[in-house]
Structure 1
């Protein structure tokens, strides 16, 4: 069973971003499994994948926010850059001083908090969606 479970309270009401958030949660769950197995080679692969995917996601999310005129776009982007730097630090220090549990704790807390508190702030600026499929 995954440690972090997606639910509708995490939704930002935009399928593209919700799907990307689900992918990030899946990567964190895979990270947790690798930590439990003490699988450092898998951790390296997952950190690289997390870094690469988060860059793609953040670029997409920031482009959407800019196109919608969200006033907090720059501050939101700065949070993304901070996350990217932290993941890069974990990756760089993988074999010297990084505690694998610290990696998981940071990733899981940051993502959950970011989605639930920061990403949900921009929902009012997103375009309306037609839930009835008209």
Structure 2
């Protein structure tokens, strides 16, 4: 059984984001179930997907005034860097590193999805962001300044948090 399986607990009620997340979970499971001869290719497929996945979320953040250097985007960069480093080490004769990394990704992903991505999904729904076109249906709902935190509810700008609590 894979270390991570898709469940409704991972659903964020944004179809394109949920589909992308489901594919990540499926590719991680494909790596976990691959035989030794197919593991490097399965890891490469996971890296390729993850690059597109993170680029997509980073684009959505830029389109809706998340700052380019926010911790959500930084976490994306770090995770991809670590995945690529794992691939290099596996190619150099340490294939067991990928099994360890797969287990770590299986623990990391639900936390990332249920915190940072959930905050992003809420923000995207609030501003009426169309993930395919990038059009924002409610530009008046965009934050005045770029969001520089992680994009979760805890990183909402102070004045916006107060006005939504009222």
CA displacement 1:73-129 (0-9 Å, x = unmatched): 621111011111111111101143342430221221122221122211223211357
- TM-score by length of structure 1 reads 0.80
Task: Judging by fraction of residues, say which structure has more helix.
Answer: 1
User: Does residue 21 of structure 2 align to residue 21 of structure 1?
Assistant: yes
Per the alignment, residue 75 of structure 2 pairs with 79
Q: Which has the larger radius of gyration?
A: 2
- TM-score by length of structure 2 reads 0.66
Q: Deviation of residue 51 (structure 1)?
A: 0.8
The gaps in structure 1 that reach 5 residues or longer are 130-134
Matching residue within 46, 50, 59 for 1:50: 46
User: Does residue 116 of structure 2 align to residue 118 of structure 1?
Assistant: yes
Matching residue within 62, 74, 82 for 1:66: 62
Q: Deviation of residue 71 (structure 1)?
A: 5.6
Q: Deviation of residue 3 (structure 1)?
A: 4.4
User: Does residue 68 of structure 2 align to residue 107 of structure 1?
Assistant: no
What is the Cα-based RMSD across aligned positions, in Å?
Answer: 2.1
3-state SS of paired residue (2:73):
helix
8 Å contact kept, 1:65–1:73: no
8 Å contact kept, 1:62–1:77: yes
The gaps in structure 2 that reach 5 residues or longer are 129-166
